[in-house]
Amino acid sequence: MSQCSICLAAANMTKKLIPHVQSGDRFIKVGEPHGKIWQVVNLSIAVDGILHARLQDDSRINGSMTIAAGVLTDPRFWSVALPI
């Protein structure tokens, strides 16, 4: 995963370490029984300066969710899915 311009903008705004997440990255939620793959489809900075990732179910069946991007880089919650 490489650094993106929105991550750099967020780092400049908040002076915090920003997780290296970009559109197209794929993740699997730890403990999910069927290993559903979620793909980052959008990144945005919330009013509090925290970078958020919009995730879409890779099968496009069960919808989407928005979470703080830092959670995606925490191995207690998510793991990186292998590229297609």
- Is pTM beyond 0.85 here? no
Digit-coded pLDDT (tens) for 9-68: 554 544 455 668 999 999 999 998 787 899 999 999 988 899 999 999 987 777 899 999
Domain count, the chain: 1
Segments forming the whole domain that contains residue 37: 5-80
What per-residue confidence (pLDDT) applies to 16?
54
| CATH value at residue 30 | 2.30.30
Quote helix, strand, coil % in the chain, to nearest 5.
15, 35, 50
Q: For residue range 72-83, what is the model confidence (pLDDT) as tens digits?
A: 999 999 999 987
DSSP category for residue 61 = S
Token representation of residue 34: 């069927």
DSSP letter string, 13-81? HH-S------TT-EEEETT-TT--EEEEEEEEE-TTS-EEEEEEETTSSS-EEEEEHHHHT-TTTEEEP
